[in-house]
Every structure is written in structure tokens, then in C-alpha cells.
Amino acid sequence: MPDESLTSHPAHALTNLLRRGKCSPLQATTAYLDRIQALNPKLQALISVDEERAKNRASALLRADAERLPLYGVPVIVKANICTEGFEANCGSNILSGFHPPYHATVVERLERAGAVVLGMANMDEFAFGSSCETSCKGPTRNPWDLDRIPGGSSGGSAAAIAADLGAAALGSDTGGSIRQPAAMCSVVGLKPTYGRVSRYGLIAFASSLDQIGPLTKDVEDSALFMEVIAGLDSHDSTSADVKVPTYRAALRRPIGGMTVGVPKEYFIGGLDPEVERAMKQALAALKGLGVQFKDVSLPHTEYAVPTYYIAATAEASSNLARFDGVRYGRRVPSGNLQEMFENTRGEGFGAEAKRRIILGTYVLSRGYYDAYYAKALKVRTLIRQDFEKVFETCRAIVTPTAPTPAFRLGEKLDDPLSMYLSDIFTISVNLAGVPALSLPCGFTQAGLPIGMQLIAPAFGEETLFHLGSAYEQATDWHLRKPAAVAS
């Protein structure tokens, strides 16, 4: 088997080849490393790769019991805000340059325990602040489908890497759409799990009540497979939920006839790109052909989601980022006294978007404004969660577009923060409500840019997402298409 063919397989298929002795973990790892070497310079999807570490890990797996390892020999990529021993976890920020965590995040530990091989760290918007993967201190990531366009953010490096077959799967984090939006724009599958379903231990925090780690994969089955590995209670994370993890793959390929799915009117509004609307209508028709019953529903507080999010999230970001001051880890700018060291380190270490969010967050938490902004945002957040709960009384799931537009051009919105923030208008509510959502490919524009469909389920309803998503995926071929811009 030619080495280049190894990189095109989804993880579950690659593992089957490895178990049957059709190739070795070292051959699979080497094939991916060769592809990274060839394509990453023009994509900038990965910001660090450790070939020696990956090959040593793959070689060691030859002595392992392959049948007991669900991810035996699978090469994976980790977003640069998830602590991985041996790699720099810089969060795409100069202020954490040189920070090498002395431990694995729980999710990385679980991946390696399941037999995965970590290849490197994925590029990202600085501290996950962005929707385009342009604010990284390492420079922007490019979309494999069109190198002049953004891959989405903040997990743009993870999404671009999987779309270009630089890894079999990747981990990302999602605070307001940072897994799902880039998944849609790069034509891969991205899952934002229920808050508490996956441990956040070792995730460098943006907004602690919103952040969730999740997989970006080549198909829905891989997403289910990775969730079986990374989900579950963790004693290191007090917010992780003590809820049994199902065998998610059991939900795959079951008929979906008779399932009631809500279509919220607030997500099909003016401003939705005509080609996205067309693709969604075709996707709904395909689901209807599989027996899905649609119901028009309303999520009336959706219009308040963006301002609510950018109050709550920036407030938490301001608090979380206060720890980066040059004293304990990361960048330090030598100065005459302690106050100057703080100011200069933070002034030079943080980029423009990080500073913007710190300032916004500090403002809404400040005396005299806390009740007017932050406290009110928390009340509206409760109303948004209640909207979802009401719909789920009569619907198994909700279907929406993932993003209002296809990928835009590099630099197009970089100087227009409000326009950039609106890129996540369809994903933010899910994080505020704490429910799970899956983005999967549902079409392309006439220019060949990917379009994604979002499926939303009640809390801990990931099984429903895999059930519905797998049925749609089996009836279409969008997920099988590969970007010509990085064809080998």
C-alpha cells in the first residue's frame, strides 16, 4: 500500500488496517509526518511537530495489545491550548512562548492510553479569541479549500489539518463555536460536547463556564469513537459530570424514521448567505427523505445571544488571563520595577484581540457596571437555556446552519471586530445553554467552499447527534470530498 493512501482513511478504518497488519503504526505515523512536511508550510495548520517523539511512540506500540486499544496507532493533532507534555502550549500567544507544560491534559492522557500518537500542536486564534485563526502569534492558518481564505476559528489549525489529511483526527476547544465553525468552513466533522461531558483539566482557560474540548474528525463514526475515549468523569476537574459514557458507535447506522427535529425560525433570517440557505434546504430535504419529521420552533432569545456571550465570556477571560503576568511562566519583559514588568510583559505579550477582550471583561466586572452588564447577562443566559429546554420537550434535536456564510477572505474582517463576532451567531447559544452540538458537511458553494449543518441535542444527548448525523452522512458524499488546493 502506498504511504500516501494511509493518510486518507478515517481513524476507525486506519485502526482496522493496523490491527490486521496491513501497515504498522510507524508506517502510518511516517506517512502523516511526510504529508505535514510537504503541506504545512503553505497551510500553517500546525505550529509545532515532534517527529522523533511521534516515531518513538509509534514504534513502542508494536509491543502493545492492539485489540485492547481503540485508537491503536492513530496519529492525532492537539490544539495548542491543551497541555501536552513535551510540546509548547502557547495558545497562539507571545505571552506563553516557551511554556512547556510538565503534564498531559486528561484528554491527551486518555488518547495516549487508547493507543493514539500525538504528532504536534495545532495553530489557533490567540487564547481562542477569534473566528478566523488569524490572531495567532505564529501567523494565520489558511483554508485547504482556498488558500486565500480563513479556515474558521479558533480551532482553525485543527480543522485545516484534518481537512488536508495532516492527521487522522484532532482535538479542539469550543467556547462559542470554535470547533463547529471551522469544521463547517473546512468540511470536516466537529463536536462541541455537553458542558461537563469532557474533562477540561489541562485546557488553558478562556471562559471556564463555556469552554469544552471536543474532536474534529473525518466522519461521524470517528467523532463517536473519540468521544468514547475522551468523555467521562475526571477527579481533576470539579465541573466534569458523573454521567455514564455510552458506547456511542452503537447509535450509528440506525434508522431515523419518525424522529422529530426542530427548525428554529431565528436561524433562517436575513443575512444568511443564499448559498448556505440553498444547501440547508437540500440537507433538510435529504433528512426528510430518511423519515425525519420537522417541526417549526422558536428560540426567542437568540437575538440576545451575541451580546450576552461577549459580556459573560470576556468577563471570564479577563479573570483567567490575569495570571499571565511574566512571574511564573511564559514571556517576561525585564524592567526596572515590578509594576513596569507587569505592564511591559502584558503589553508586549498579548495581541490586539486579547487586549480588547481583557478590557471589555474588566469593564463589565468593574464597580458600578457589574449589575448593569454582567449580572444581567447571566439572567439572559438562563432564558436562552430555557428556550432550548422548551423545544426539547417536543423535539429530539434541532437543525440549523453552522455559520451564516462560507469562509471569508484572509484579512476581510480582521479590522472589524463586530462583523467577526457575528460569524458565531449560530453557535454561541449552544455554549450559553451548555448543550451538545455537531457540525457536519452538507454542501459546497459554486466556488467550491464548504458549508456545514449544525445538529443540536439536549444535555448529554450526543448519542442522538451521532444517530442523526450518521444517517445523513451515509445518504450523502460531502464528507468524502477532498480539497484540490492541497492534493498530493
Assigned domain for 185 exists: yes
Assigned domain for 25 exists: yes
Assigned domain for 411 exists: no
- Locate 79 and state its grid cell: 490544539
Measure the CA–CA gap between 486 and 365, rounded to whole angstroms: 46
Residue 187: is the preceding peptide bond cis (ω within 30°)? no
Catalytic residue among 131, 155, 158, 178: 178
Tell me the residue type at 123. N
Assigned domain for 453 exists: no
Residue pLDDT, tens place only, 246-296: 999 998 988 999 999 999 999 998 779 999 999 999 999 999 999 999 999
Residue 380 neighbours by CB under 8 Å, 6+ apart = 301, 304, 308
Name the percent of the chain lying above pLDDT 70.
99
Q: What is the DSSP letter of 328?
A: S
Q: How confident is the model at residue 488 (pLDDT cuts 50, 70, 90)?
A: low
Give the burial string for 375-408 (b: 16+ CB within 10 Å, else e): ebbeebbeebbebbeebbeebbbbbbbbbbbbbb
pLDDT confidence of residue 4: 63
Strands annotated E in 68-209:
75-79, 117-122, 169-174, 189-192
Catalytic site includes residue 154: yes
Catalytic residue among 132, 136, 154, 470: 154
Q: Which residues pair with 263 in a beta bridge?
A: 296
Assigned domain for 247 exists: yes
When pLDDT is averaged across residues 138-155 and rounded to a whole number, the result is 98
Residue pLDDT, tens place only, 64-116: 999 999 999 999 999 999 999 999 999 999 999 999 999 999 999 999 999 99
pLDDT confidence of residue 330: 84
- Locate 154 and state its grid cell: 479558533
Q: How far is CA 137 from the centre of its chain?
A: 19
Question: Is residue 2 over pLDDT 50?
Answer: no
Mean pLDDT in the chain? 96
- Locate 206 and state its grid cell: 478562556
pLDDT confidence of residue 3: 59
When pLDDT is averaged across residues 416-435 and rounded to a whole number, the result is 93
Name the percent of the chain lying above pLDDT 90.
92
Q: How far is CA 344 from the centre of its chain?
A: 32
Secondary element (H or E) of residue 154: none
CATH of the domain at 119: 3.90.1300.10
- Locate 388 and state its grid cell: 432550548
Instruction: Give me the number of domains the chain comprises.
Output: 1
Assigned domain for 461 exists: no
Q: Quick count: other Cβ atoms within 10 Å of Cβ 68?
A: 9
Of 88, 81, 69, 78, which Cα lies nearest the Cα of 167?
A: 78
Residue pLDDT, tens place only, 189-239: 999 999 999 999 999 999 999 999 999 999 999 999 999 999 999 999 999
Secondary element (H or E) of residue 213: strand 212-217
Q: Is 340 helix (H, G, I), strand (E, B) or coil?
A: helix
Question: Is residue 130 over pLDDT 60?
Answer: yes
The total number of residues shown for the chain amounts to: 488
From residue 4, alpha-carbon distances to 1, 20, 158, 173 in Å are 8, 19, 20, 29
pLDDT confidence of residue 269: 82
Residue 157 neighbours by CB under 8 Å, 6+ apart = 44, 45, 46, 47, 77, 79, 80, 122, 123, 124, 133, 136, 141, 151
Measure the CA–CA gap between 342 and 267, rounded to whole angstroms: 44
Question: In this structure, what is the dihedral angle of CA atoms 264, 266, 272, 274, given to the nearest 10 degrees?
Answer: 50
Residue pLDDT, tens place only, 165-197: 999 999 999 999 999 999 999 999 999 999 999
Question: Is residue 143 over pLDDT 50?
Answer: yes
Question: Is residue 1 over pLDDT 50?
Answer: no
The least confident of 132-141, 330-339, 382-391 is 330-339
Q: Which domain does 47 fall in, by range?
A: 3-254+472-486
Secondary element (H or E) of residue 46: strand 46-49
Question: In this structure, what is the dihedral angle of CA atoms 111, 117, 118, 122, given to the nearest 10 degrees?
Answer: -90
Residue written as cell 424514521?
Answer: 257
- Locate 201 and state its grid cell: 483539566
415, burial (CB in 10 Å: exposed 0-12, middle 13-18, buried 19+): exposed
Assigned domain for 117 exists: yes
- List helix spans (H) across 206-292: 220-230, 274-289
Question: Is residue 35 over pLDDT 50?
Answer: yes
pLDDT confidence of residue 419: 86
Alpha-carbon torsion (44, 45, 50, 55), positive or negative: negative
Q: What is the DSSP letter of 121?
A: E
Assigned domain for 358 exists: no
